[in-house]
A and B are shown apart, each in its own frame.
Chain A
Amino acid sequence: MTARSPDAVLVRRIVLPLVVIAGLVILWDVAIRAFAIPPYVIPTPASVGHALVKERARLVENAIPTILESLGGFALGNLVAIAAAIAFVHNKMLERALYPVAVAVRTLPVVAIAPIFVLMLGNGYSPKIAIAALITFFPTLVNMVEGLESADPQALELMHVLSASRTEVFRYVRWPSSLPYLFSAMRIASTSSVLGALVAEWIGTNTGLGYLIVLTTYDFRTALLYAAMVVTSAIALAFFFMVSTLEWLLVRWER
């Protein structure tokens, strides 16, 4: 392989995707004109841009609850998953008893659980955080258990030779070994937690981007609907970017 200059890397990683996105937007615009699609079915890119600017106060106002719910759910889901994974690795009985339950919960459709949580937890932030947490929980649990088990057997044997305590084995070997696994789970969770919060906002609430999406769909305000989707997507991307940056800072040895 030939060495690439930083400029070439910039072109490949940033310019290229931007060109593709611009191309897709142009294609979208051309298709609407060519097939004479009415704006209430699909809005033009320009009208979506217009809605983003004109309705920015409304979009921000609805984005804040969605961001808080996603972050809360992300934090809660990951913390519980990490704690469960640590417990599982140290107690095989617990793992055998609870792992199938976790898998079973995973198979329940989120769209069906959302109303149940609203019934149980009311109309506030709690049911949304719970849904976002639930959606985050499983990938982190699976990856974290695998990560903690991924410790080099030779390193574990060394720790035994050094008469290390369980806490030390965890601190010096198991926990650092699991970090690459944890981060790959958190990268998935960073975007799916937004999805969870969004789905939870479809029912029993009157704020949030999920609510805005449902409302504008019924009102045929497609430009604002698309603008809400753009904002949602931007939030998910921002989370993904934050997790990736944190990984880049903390998991240096994998590079």
Chain B
Amino acid sequence: MVFGTSAGPVHALANITLDVARGEFIALIGPSGCGKSTLLRLIADVLQPTRGTIEIRGGPPSRARLAREFGFVFQHPGLLLWRDALANVSLPLAIGAWGRRHASPHRPEALLELVGLKGFEHAFPRQLSGGMQQRVSIARALVTGPPILLMDEPFGALDEITRDHLNQELLRIWEATGTTIVFVTHSIPEAVYLANRVFVFTPRPGRVQEEVAIELPSPRAPSMKDTPEFLRHTATLRRALAKSS
């Protein structure tokens, strides 16, 4: 992936090969600017690759986008300030009259409950904390029942306590919905705690330096973070990141 910028072409990504199986939880980790967010946007058909192909459930990303086969959770919630929590969650149903043309697998109210925001249906984004806003945006990404969830450092802007809490919630949602998740992060413990497999990226141009399978029992519990097993995985990732830079 090459970007044309005023300072000349920037090679954001090069020679990436990556397969994700159905129902997997994949984490992409690497230094800032290594192109992991770019990769996510290529998958989401927000950007077009300069070279190479991406296939999602047997088709190109544009088909997957039109068929709403993935939901996207951004680093910042990007909620519409003039819509309350419920109306923000329902937004994807309104666009292209999706809700009228397709049977919705989830009721927006039920999704707000799933992300732990029951009772906040009519709260406006300004009235919600950063963590709550991000929960709304997760519910919004899930409302059309996509088989894939793309998450771009969704908890990067939150404090550690909220982040730990939302990590736990996300795993619960992942188990409840069976969604495939591709999760970009720059937190080693977060990657180890959440993912089945972690891909370590090199700095620009981003390449996959190493693939690390996380062999921790499922479902995860916060107490695991102090086990030797967990620490062994974080050490492996830390070494891989050190090697990559």
Contact = CB atoms under 8 A, between A and B. Distances in A.
Contacts of B96: 162-165, 168
B136 to A, nearest CB: 12
B155 interface: no
B44 interface: yes
B46 to A, nearest CB: 6
A173 B92 contact: no
Interface string A151-169: 0101101111111110010
Contact of A154 (B45, B74, B81): B74
A172 interface: yes
Interface in B61-92: 65-66, 68, 70, 72, 74-82, 91-92
B46 A157 contact: yes
Contact of B92 (A162, A165, A179, A254): A162
Contacts, number: 57
Contact of A253 (B44, B66, B81): B81
Interface string B140-151: 000000000000
A253 B75 CA distance: 22
Interface residues of A, number: 20
Range, interface on chain B: 20 to 34
A163 to B, nearest CB: 5
B94 A161 contact: no
B174 interface: no
A49 interface: no
A172 B46 contact: no
A176 B79 CA distance: 12
Nearest to B66: A163
B81 A158 contact: no
A87 to B, nearest CB: 24
B82 A162 contact: no
Nearest to B81: A253
Contacts of B161: none
Contact of A172 (B66, B70, B80): B80
13 contacts: A154-B77, A154-B78, A155-B80, A157-B46, A158-B78, A161-B45, A162-B68, A162-B91, A162-B92, A252-B124, A253-B81, A253-B124, A254-B81
Instruction: Give the top 3 A-B pairs by smallest Cβ distance, nearest first.
Output: A154-B78, A162-B95, A253-B81
Interface of B: 44-46, 65-66, 68, 70, 72, 74-82, 91-92, 94-96, 124-126
